[in-house]
Amino acid sequence: MALALSSQIARLIDRGALFVVNHSGGKDGQAMLAILRQYIPADQLLVIHAHLPGVEWPGTIEHIRATTKGLPLIVCEAVKTFFQMVERRGMFPSPQQRQCTSDLKRGPIEREIRRYLKANPRFGGLVVNCMGLRAQESPKRAKAQEFKFNARNSKAGREWYDWLPVQDLTKDQVFAVIAAAGEKPHWAYGAGMTRLSCCFCIMASRQDLCTAARLRPKLYRRYVGLESRIGHTMMMPAKGEAPKYLEEITGISA
């Protein structure tokens, strides 16, 4: 799959920027990495995975490692786990207030990028943080700016940009990129999941929740138990609807 590189990106490659590939183990991060390695010199690429202990699919780190093909890979973790975060707040994150993304993924990844730049002065603090968001996934992602200067992180000698290289790709194109690279997507897709990262995501479809409940019954029990203990549902109800607990949504008894 050819990428129409903007002149801004071409210039950043020439300037020797570090390109960081955010990789959750899902298809979008995998396809993004397969594409970027065609354009970005290997010594300017770094892969980072924010690991979510206990809630992501088994084999995710191994899967990512198999697709990095020798590129440096950093696996980072937040100081708290997903369950600790929910227990402390007494509620699950919501699609509007996604503390899970900001605290468990974005925060740790940005911390690792700062560390890496400091330890590798050859990049001169110049970094492009690449994320695998796609327009097809949601109206919000469709509206997201594909490339932008990140003023919040451009301090202490850093010049930081955010880039969504696969924003315009369809789901089918993403799988085609993975196949063309001679790779396979994470096993959970073959088992019926449509999205990856956390097995049970606060934004998952009913179908994915049911599939995950069947594939990971013990973990499902933990979510169901947590909902009942804190009296708060994991899934936000649709506008005008009453909240529903996981067992009500899936129809699967824990």
Query: If binding is defined by CB under 6 A, does position 68 make contact with ligand SF4?
Result: no
Query: If binding is defined by CB under 6 A, does position 20 make contact with ligand SF4?
Result: no
What is the nearest approach in angstroms of ligand SF4 to the Cβ of residue 24? 7
Whose tokens are 């899970």? That residue is 100
Alpha-carbon distance 254 to 70, whole Å? 41
Query: If binding is defined by CB under 6 A, does position 203 make contact with ligand SF4?
Result: yes
Closest to 164 in 3D by CA, of 138, 188, 146, 183 = 146
Sign of CA dihedral 88, 94, 96, 102: positive
Closest to 63 in 3D by CA, of 187, 181, 212, 173 = 187
Contact predicate 221/253, CB 8 Å? no
Query: If binding is defined by CB under 6 A, does position 198 make contact with ligand SF4?
Result: yes
Please count the residues of this chain forming the interface with ligand SF4, following the rule CB under 6 A. Answer: 11
Query: If binding is defined by CB under 6 A, does position 104 make contact with ligand SF4?
Result: yes
| ∠ Cα 144 85 24 (to 5°) | 45
Instruction: Report the residue from 65, 98, 171, 244 that binds ligand SF4 according to the rule CB under 6 A.
Output: 98
The string over 162-201, giving b where at least 16 C-beta atoms fall within 10 Å of a residue's C-beta and e elsewhere, is bbbbbbebeeeebbebbeebebebbebbeeebebbbbbbb
Site map for ligand SF4, 222-251, x if CB under 6 A?
Answer: ------------------------------
Stretch near ligand SF4 under the rule CB under 6 A, chosen from 99-107, 108-116, 120-128, 205-213? 99-107
The single-letter code of the amino acid at 179 is A
Nearer to ligand SF4, 33 or 203 (CB): 203
Nearer to ligand SF4, 21 or 45 (CB): 21
Query: If binding is defined by CB under 6 A, does position 201 make contact with ligand SF4?
Result: yes
Query: If binding is defined by CB under 6 A, does position 202 make contact with ligand SF4?
Result: yes
Pairing mode of beta strands 45-50, 126-130: unpaired
Nearer to ligand SF4, 44 or 233 (CB): 233
Instruction: Report the residue from 101, 120, 136, 173 that binds ligand SF4 according to the rule CB under 6 A.
Output: 101
Alpha-carbon distance 247 to 251, whole Å? 5
Nearer to ligand SF4, 37 or 186 (CB): 186
Nearer to ligand SF4, 159 or 162 (CB): 162
Alpha-carbon distance 77 to 93, whole Å? 18
Whose tokens are 């696969």? That residue is 166
Stretch near ligand SF4 under the rule CB under 6 A, chosen from 12-20, 96-104, 127-135, 217-225? 96-104
Query: If binding is defined by CB under 6 A, does position 64 make contact with ligand SF4?
Result: no
Query: What are the residues binding ligand SF4 (CB under 6 A)?
Result: 93, 98, 100-101, 104-105, 197-198, 201-203
